[in-house]
Chain A
Amino acid sequence: MREYLILRVITKLLFPFILLFALYVQFHGDFGPGGGFQAGVIFAASFILYSMVFGVRSAQHVLPVGILRAGIAGGLLLYALVGVVDLLLGANYLDYSPMSAEAKVGQHLGIFLVELGVGITVASVMMTMFFTFATWRED
Protein backbone atom coordinates (compact mmCIF):
# COMPACT_ATOMS: atom_id res chain seq x y z
CA MET A 1 0.00 0.00 0.00
CA ARG A 2 3.02 2.23 -0.18
CA GLU A 3 2.17 3.75 -3.53
CA TYR A 4 -1.48 4.56 -2.82
CA LEU A 5 -1.02 8.10 -1.55
CA ILE A 6 -4.69 9.03 -1.58
CA LEU A 7 -5.63 6.04 0.59
CA ARG A 8 -2.97 6.79 3.17
CA VAL A 9 -3.79 10.48 3.46
CA ILE A 10 -7.57 9.97 3.64
CA THR A 11 -7.21 7.18 6.21
CA LYS A 12 -5.13 9.35 8.46
CA LEU A 13 -7.64 12.19 8.10
CA LEU A 14 -10.69 10.01 8.71
CA PHE A 15 -9.34 7.96 11.60
CA PRO A 16 -10.10 10.40 14.47
CA PHE A 17 -13.56 11.16 13.08
CA ILE A 18 -14.48 7.47 13.02
CA LEU A 19 -13.33 7.11 16.62
CA LEU A 20 -15.32 10.19 17.61
CA PHE A 21 -18.41 8.81 15.90
CA ALA A 22 -17.94 5.52 17.76
CA LEU A 23 -17.88 7.39 21.07
CA TYR A 24 -20.98 9.37 20.04
CA VAL A 25 -22.88 6.16 19.19
CA GLN A 26 -21.77 4.62 22.48
CA PHE A 27 -23.04 7.36 24.72
CA HIS A 28 -26.26 8.15 22.85
CA GLY A 29 -27.62 4.62 23.05
CA ASP A 30 -30.60 5.59 25.16
CA PHE A 31 -31.57 8.65 23.12
CA GLY A 32 -31.16 7.31 19.61
CA PRO A 33 -29.89 4.30 17.69
CA GLY A 34 -26.71 3.04 19.21
CA GLY A 35 -25.35 1.41 22.31
CA GLY A 36 -22.46 -0.79 23.26
CA PHE A 37 -22.30 -3.33 20.46
CA GLN A 38 -22.65 -0.88 17.59
CA ALA A 39 -20.07 1.47 19.05
CA GLY A 40 -17.60 -1.33 19.67
CA VAL A 41 -17.85 -2.49 16.06
CA ILE A 42 -17.34 1.05 14.68
CA PHE A 43 -14.35 1.53 16.98
CA ALA A 44 -12.81 -1.72 15.78
CA ALA A 45 -13.60 -0.86 12.15
CA SER A 46 -11.41 2.24 12.38
CA PHE A 47 -8.43 0.22 13.57
CA ILE A 48 -9.07 -2.44 10.93
CA LEU A 49 -9.09 0.28 8.26
CA TYR A 50 -5.80 1.57 9.61
CA SER A 51 -4.21 -1.87 9.62
CA MET A 52 -5.45 -2.61 6.10
CA VAL A 53 -3.73 0.50 4.75
CA PHE A 54 -0.61 0.68 6.91
CA GLY A 55 0.03 -2.98 7.71
CA VAL A 56 -0.87 -5.20 10.63
CA ARG A 57 2.49 -4.64 12.33
CA SER A 58 1.97 -0.91 12.86
CA ALA A 59 -1.56 -1.49 14.15
CA GLN A 60 -0.28 -4.10 16.59
CA HIS A 61 2.32 -1.59 17.71
CA VAL A 62 -0.50 0.69 18.86
CA LEU A 63 -2.65 -2.07 20.38
CA PRO A 64 -0.53 -4.99 21.57
CA VAL A 65 -2.14 -8.34 22.29
CA GLY A 66 -1.95 -7.85 26.05
CA ILE A 67 -4.08 -4.71 26.01
CA LEU A 68 -6.72 -6.34 23.80
CA ARG A 69 -6.89 -9.39 26.05
CA ALA A 70 -7.25 -7.13 29.09
CA GLY A 71 -10.00 -5.29 27.24
CA ILE A 72 -11.95 -8.48 26.59
CA ALA A 73 -11.74 -9.61 30.19
CA GLY A 74 -12.10 -6.12 31.64
CA GLY A 75 -15.29 -5.21 29.80
CA LEU A 76 -17.05 -8.39 30.90
CA LEU A 77 -15.79 -7.90 34.45
CA LEU A 78 -17.09 -4.31 34.46
CA TYR A 79 -20.55 -5.52 33.52
CA ALA A 80 -20.61 -8.31 36.11
CA LEU A 81 -19.07 -6.16 38.85
CA VAL A 82 -21.70 -3.42 38.40
CA GLY A 83 -24.25 -6.11 39.23
CA VAL A 84 -22.21 -7.28 42.22
CA VAL A 85 -22.00 -3.69 43.51
CA ASP A 86 -25.78 -3.57 43.33
CA LEU A 87 -25.90 -6.82 45.32
CA LEU A 88 -23.65 -5.32 47.97
CA LEU A 89 -25.78 -2.17 48.14
CA GLY A 90 -28.74 -4.30 49.12
CA ALA A 91 -30.89 -4.54 45.98
CA ASN A 92 -31.33 -7.37 43.47
CA TYR A 93 -28.61 -8.31 41.04
CA LEU A 94 -28.70 -5.69 38.28
CA ASP A 95 -30.99 -3.20 40.04
CA TYR A 96 -29.23 0.12 39.48
CA SER A 97 -31.52 2.23 41.68
CA PRO A 98 -29.37 2.32 44.87
CA MET A 99 -26.27 3.41 42.99
CA SER A 100 -27.01 7.07 43.59
CA ALA A 101 -29.25 9.23 45.78
CA GLU A 102 -32.13 9.33 43.28
CA ALA A 103 -33.37 6.18 41.53
CA LYS A 104 -33.37 7.88 38.11
CA VAL A 105 -29.75 9.01 38.35
CA GLY A 106 -28.78 5.58 39.61
CA GLN A 107 -30.43 3.87 36.64
CA HIS A 108 -28.70 6.24 34.23
CA LEU A 109 -25.30 5.62 35.81
CA GLY A 110 -25.84 1.87 35.85
CA ILE A 111 -26.79 1.66 32.18
CA PHE A 112 -23.89 3.95 31.26
CA LEU A 113 -21.34 1.69 32.95
CA VAL A 114 -22.88 -1.49 31.58
CA GLU A 115 -22.88 -0.19 28.00
CA LEU A 116 -19.28 0.97 28.45
CA GLY A 117 -18.32 -2.57 29.47
CA VAL A 118 -20.11 -4.01 26.46
CA GLY A 119 -18.44 -1.50 24.10
CA ILE A 120 -14.94 -2.23 25.41
CA THR A 121 -15.43 -5.99 25.15
CA VAL A 122 -16.92 -5.89 21.64
CA ALA A 123 -14.19 -3.59 20.29
CA SER A 124 -11.44 -5.77 21.78
CA VAL A 125 -13.02 -8.97 20.47
CA MET A 126 -13.41 -7.61 16.93
CA MET A 127 -9.81 -6.42 16.82
CA THR A 128 -8.50 -9.67 18.30
CA MET A 129 -10.38 -11.66 15.67
CA PHE A 130 -8.98 -9.52 12.85
CA PHE A 131 -5.41 -9.67 14.15
CA THR A 132 -5.64 -13.42 14.69
CA PHE A 133 -6.76 -14.07 11.13
CA ALA A 134 -4.37 -11.52 9.63
CA THR A 135 -1.24 -12.84 11.35
CA TRP A 136 -1.95 -16.55 10.85
CA ARG A 137 1.15 -18.49 9.95
CA GLU A 138 1.11 -21.89 8.27
CA ASP A 139 3.30 -23.57 10.88
Chain B
Amino acid sequence: MLREHLPVLVIIIPLIAAPLCILFRGRDQAFGIALLATWGSFACSAVIAAKVMASGTLSYELGGWPPPIGIELRIDALNALILLIVSGIGSVVAPYARNSLLLEYVEDRSYMFYCAFLLCLCGLMGVAVTGDAFNLFVFLEISSLSSYVLIALGFDRRAASFASCTPLSLRSTSIQPVNLFC
Protein backbone atom coordinates (compact mmCIF):
# COMPACT_ATOMS: atom_id res chain seq x y z
CA MET B 1 0.00 0.00 0.00
CA LEU B 2 2.83 2.37 0.76
CA ARG B 3 4.61 1.56 -2.50
CA GLU B 4 2.76 4.14 -4.51
CA HIS B 5 3.62 6.84 -1.95
CA LEU B 6 7.38 6.27 -2.18
CA PRO B 7 8.32 9.60 -3.81
CA VAL B 8 6.96 11.50 -0.86
CA LEU B 9 8.26 9.06 1.76
CA VAL B 10 11.82 9.82 0.69
CA ILE B 11 11.34 13.46 1.79
CA ILE B 12 9.04 12.83 4.76
CA ILE B 13 11.23 10.41 6.69
CA PRO B 14 14.06 12.91 7.40
CA LEU B 15 11.52 15.73 7.80
CA ILE B 16 9.65 13.93 10.61
CA ALA B 17 12.86 12.65 12.19
CA ALA B 18 14.32 16.17 12.54
CA PRO B 19 11.83 17.49 15.16
CA LEU B 20 11.84 14.05 16.81
CA CYS B 21 15.59 14.54 17.34
CA ILE B 22 14.79 17.77 19.21
CA LEU B 23 12.08 16.15 21.32
CA PHE B 24 14.29 13.21 22.34
CA ARG B 25 17.31 15.05 23.61
CA GLY B 26 19.52 12.21 24.82
CA ARG B 27 22.73 11.75 22.86
CA ASP B 28 22.14 8.12 21.92
CA GLN B 29 18.45 8.60 21.19
CA ALA B 30 19.06 11.43 18.74
CA PHE B 31 21.84 9.44 17.08
CA GLY B 32 19.55 6.41 16.76
CA ILE B 33 16.76 8.45 15.21
CA ALA B 34 19.15 10.09 12.72
CA LEU B 35 20.63 6.74 11.75
CA LEU B 36 17.24 5.11 11.19
CA ALA B 37 16.01 8.09 9.17
CA THR B 38 19.02 8.16 6.81
CA TRP B 39 18.97 4.39 6.30
CA GLY B 40 15.19 4.45 5.76
CA SER B 41 15.40 7.12 3.10
CA PHE B 42 18.27 5.28 1.39
CA ALA B 43 16.10 2.14 1.29
CA CYS B 44 13.20 4.17 -0.19
CA SER B 45 15.42 5.72 -2.85
CA ALA B 46 16.82 2.28 -3.79
CA VAL B 47 13.27 0.97 -4.31
CA ILE B 48 12.39 4.13 -6.29
CA ALA B 49 15.45 3.65 -8.53
CA ALA B 50 14.47 0.04 -9.22
CA LYS B 51 10.91 1.12 -10.05
CA VAL B 52 12.06 3.89 -12.37
CA MET B 53 14.42 1.53 -14.19
CA ALA B 54 11.54 -0.90 -14.66
CA SER B 55 8.63 1.32 -15.57
CA GLY B 56 9.78 4.82 -16.51
CA THR B 57 9.00 8.21 -14.94
CA LEU B 58 7.20 8.26 -11.60
CA SER B 59 4.72 11.04 -11.01
CA TYR B 60 3.02 11.89 -7.72
CA GLU B 61 0.49 14.62 -7.03
CA LEU B 62 0.82 16.26 -3.64
CA GLY B 63 -2.55 16.89 -2.04
CA GLY B 64 -4.46 15.20 -4.82
CA TRP B 65 -4.52 18.34 -6.99
CA PRO B 66 -3.55 17.90 -10.69
CA PRO B 67 -0.28 19.49 -11.85
CA PRO B 68 -1.00 23.06 -12.99
CA ILE B 69 -2.92 23.73 -9.77
CA GLY B 70 -0.99 21.52 -7.38
CA ILE B 71 2.59 20.51 -6.73
CA GLU B 72 3.79 17.45 -8.59
CA LEU B 73 6.73 15.26 -7.63
CA ARG B 74 8.34 13.80 -10.71
CA ILE B 75 11.17 11.24 -10.66
CA ASP B 76 12.89 10.06 -13.81
CA ALA B 77 16.20 8.21 -14.22
CA LEU B 78 18.46 11.21 -13.54
CA ASN B 79 16.51 12.17 -10.43
CA ALA B 80 16.66 8.61 -9.16
CA LEU B 81 20.43 8.56 -9.63
CA ILE B 82 20.82 11.81 -7.68
CA LEU B 83 18.54 10.50 -4.94
CA LEU B 84 20.65 7.36 -4.66
CA ILE B 85 23.89 9.36 -4.46
CA VAL B 86 22.64 11.86 -1.87
CA SER B 87 20.93 9.36 0.41
CA GLY B 88 23.77 6.89 -0.04
CA ILE B 89 26.36 9.41 1.09
CA GLY B 90 24.10 10.43 3.97
CA SER B 91 23.60 6.89 5.18
CA VAL B 92 27.32 6.07 4.91
CA VAL B 93 28.37 9.22 6.79
CA ALA B 94 25.77 8.99 9.56
CA PRO B 95 27.24 6.09 11.62
CA TYR B 96 30.56 7.93 11.93
CA ALA B 97 28.94 11.16 13.05
CA ARG B 98 28.78 10.06 16.67
CA ASN B 99 32.49 9.64 17.29
CA SER B 100 33.27 12.72 15.24
CA LEU B 101 30.94 14.79 17.42
CA LEU B 102 32.60 13.46 20.56
CA LEU B 103 35.86 15.01 19.37
CA GLU B 104 34.58 18.34 18.14
CA TYR B 105 31.35 19.43 19.75
CA VAL B 106 29.66 19.93 23.12
CA GLU B 107 28.10 16.60 24.02
CA ASP B 108 24.79 17.67 25.45
CA ARG B 109 23.89 19.66 22.34
CA SER B 110 24.61 17.00 19.75
CA TYR B 111 20.88 16.61 19.00
CA MET B 112 21.00 19.99 17.28
CA PHE B 113 23.65 18.74 14.89
CA TYR B 114 21.55 15.70 13.99
CA CYS B 115 18.50 17.92 13.39
CA ALA B 116 20.46 20.22 11.05
CA PHE B 117 21.96 17.21 9.26
CA LEU B 118 18.55 15.63 8.69
CA LEU B 119 17.04 18.91 7.46
CA CYS B 120 19.92 19.38 5.02
CA LEU B 121 19.40 15.84 3.72
CA CYS B 122 15.65 16.45 3.38
CA GLY B 123 16.21 19.70 1.49
CA LEU B 124 18.70 18.19 -0.95
CA MET B 125 16.49 15.20 -1.70
CA GLY B 126 13.50 17.48 -2.11
CA VAL B 127 15.43 19.43 -4.74
CA ALA B 128 15.94 16.18 -6.65
CA VAL B 129 12.37 14.94 -6.31
CA THR B 130 10.20 17.96 -6.98
CA GLY B 131 8.65 18.90 -10.30
CA ASP B 132 7.43 22.38 -9.40
CA ALA B 133 9.64 25.46 -9.74
CA PHE B 134 8.58 27.21 -6.57
CA ASN B 135 8.82 24.00 -4.58
CA LEU B 136 12.39 23.80 -5.88
CA PHE B 137 13.03 27.27 -4.45
CA VAL B 138 11.59 26.24 -1.07
CA PHE B 139 13.72 23.10 -0.83
CA LEU B 140 16.77 25.05 -1.97
CA GLU B 141 16.18 27.48 0.90
CA ILE B 142 15.74 24.63 3.41
CA SER B 143 18.99 22.99 2.35
CA SER B 144 20.96 26.22 2.25
CA LEU B 145 19.82 27.48 5.67
CA SER B 146 20.69 24.17 7.30
CA SER B 147 24.02 24.07 5.50
CA TYR B 148 24.96 27.52 6.89
CA VAL B 149 24.42 26.02 10.35
CA LEU B 150 26.50 22.96 9.49
CA ILE B 151 29.34 25.08 8.07
CA ALA B 152 29.45 27.25 11.18
CA LEU B 153 29.81 24.17 13.41
CA GLY B 154 33.29 23.49 12.04
CA PHE B 155 36.36 22.59 14.06
CA ASP B 156 38.15 25.92 14.03
CA ARG B 157 35.40 28.10 15.53
CA ARG B 158 36.86 31.42 14.40
CA ALA B 159 37.37 30.57 10.78
CA ALA B 160 34.16 28.55 10.57
CA SER B 161 31.91 31.37 11.78
CA PHE B 162 33.39 33.82 9.32
CA ALA B 163 33.40 31.19 6.59
CA SER B 164 29.66 30.87 6.94
CA CYS B 165 28.97 34.58 6.37
CA THR B 166 30.30 34.68 2.83
CA PRO B 167 27.95 32.07 1.34
CA LEU B 168 25.06 33.56 3.32
CA SER B 169 25.36 37.09 1.91
CA LEU B 170 26.35 35.93 -1.56
CA ARG B 171 23.50 33.48 -1.83
CA SER B 172 20.82 35.71 -0.37
CA THR B 173 21.44 38.45 -2.92
CA SER B 174 21.82 36.11 -5.87
CA ILE B 175 18.76 33.95 -5.12
CA GLN B 176 16.41 36.84 -5.91
CA PRO B 177 16.84 36.63 -9.72
CA VAL B 178 16.27 32.87 -9.45
CA ASN B 179 13.06 33.73 -7.63
CA LEU B 180 12.06 35.71 -10.73
CA PHE B 181 12.10 32.66 -12.95
CA CYS B 182 9.74 30.79 -10.69
Contact = CB atoms under 8 A, between A and B. Distances in A.
- Tell me whether A and B are bound partners: yes
B60 interface: yes
B131 interface: no
A76 B5 contact: no
Contacts of A76: 15, 18-19
B63 A92 contact: yes
Contacts of A96: 63
Which secondary structure dominates where chain A touches chain B?
Answer: helix
A93 interface: yes
For chain B, which range describes its interface: under 10, 10 to 19, 20 to 34, or 35 or more residues?
10 to 19
B19 A87 contact: no
A93 B19 contact: no
A83 interface: yes
A80 B120 CA distance: 17
B16 A84 contact: yes
10 contacts: A69-B22, A72-B22, A73-B20, A73-B22, A73-B23, A77-B16, A80-B15, A92-B64, A94-B63, A96-B63
| Nearest 4 interchain pairs by C-beta | A95-B64, A73-B19, A73-B22, A93-B8
Contact of A77 (B20, B60, B63): B20
Interface string A54-89: 000000000000000110111011001101100100
Contacts of B92: none
Nearest to A69: B22
Interface string B1-22: 0100100100010011011101
A87 B61 CA distance: 12
A128 B63 CA distance: 32
B62 interface: yes
A77 B19 contact: yes
A73 B61 CA distance: 27
Interface in A42-62: none
Interface string A80-116: 1101100100011111110000000000000000000
A87 B5 contact: yes
B22 A84 contact: no
B64 A84 contact: no
Contacts of A93: 5, 8, 12, 60, 62-63
A11 to B, nearest CB: 31
Nearest to B4: A92
Given A72-B19, A72-B22, A76-B19, A94 B12 contact: no
Interface in B1-59: 2, 5, 8, 12, 15-16, 18-20, 22-23
B175 to A, nearest CB: 19
Contacts of B19: 72-74, 76-77, 80
Contacts of B60: 92-93
B44 to A, nearest CB: 13
B12 A80 contact: yes
Contacts of A87: 2, 5, 8
